[in-house]
Structure 1
Amino acid sequence: MEFLKETIDYAIFSILGIMGFIALWLTIERVMFFSKINLNDYDTQESFEDSITKHLTTLYIIYSNAPYVGLLGTVIGIMITFYDMGLSGTIDTKEIMTGLSLALKATALGLAVAIPTLIAYNALYRKITLLSNTYKNKNLK
């Protein structure tokens, strides 16, 4: 239990950090791609849509799962707090509140990763819709 107590924060924060980095990287990559896109480079609507929607699923996975990773850290932190309380045999309110508040930081970090990723996902999805409509209109003329 001591090993878990010492490493859980690092593990959860590392996972969320990697998720946040990937989300930021993919968002920047998509924005740069959209700024340089040439509609004439694509022969079919399908190839165009495959190209513009690349990495969107990864962003969706990150924003939908980051809160759960944070929640996992919180649940484990709460379990450790209750375990320590059981071992000590005493109920110290200060110790309980400190343990619980520290456990909640994982959920906060999960939300801190998920919310900006959701915003980026929605913004990119809107841009994809606009580009797709532009491509369709170009081919109708």
Structure 2
Amino acid sequence: MSDTKILWSDDFEGDRGASVNPKFWNFDLGDGTSAGIPGWGNQEREWYLEEQAKLSGNSELIISATRNTNPDVYSAYYGEAAEWLSAKLTTKNKVEVLYGLIEARVQIPTGVGTWPAFWMLGTNLDEVTWPFCGEIDILEARGKDSGNLVATLHGPGY
């Protein structure tokens, strides 16, 4: 692969506790209600916050999932406080890759209820909705079975 040309990368360089580079990354926030998809389409019982994703100071992004200990905050779509707090990042309208090698170094968390994923959606998601925009799951795992990684295609014809 000596002739491989890097089109984009993010090594998550920065001070410990800093946020990601806003030139590349967006945050999906809340429980999906403001985006018109309560529970983010799969009945998630968590609330996404920017502060749950921070740089390690050692070229790593750390996404934390913590139990919500304040029942008066983060009222979710199902009528109760969100049970979990975490982060969801996208490169929507900032980074697009049509062809090439996609690579990441990912440490998979363990624990029932976790669903770590690294995936791509079609750039026309706002016009045609999922799954018609296409989705490539580069990696998905279930925390209760973190040794079983899955890659999947979703969309018309798949």
TM-score tier by shorter-chain length is under 0.3
Q: TM-score, normalised by structure 1?
A: 0.22
**Which is helix-richer, 1 or 2?**
1
Q: TM-score, normalised by structure 2?
A: 0.21
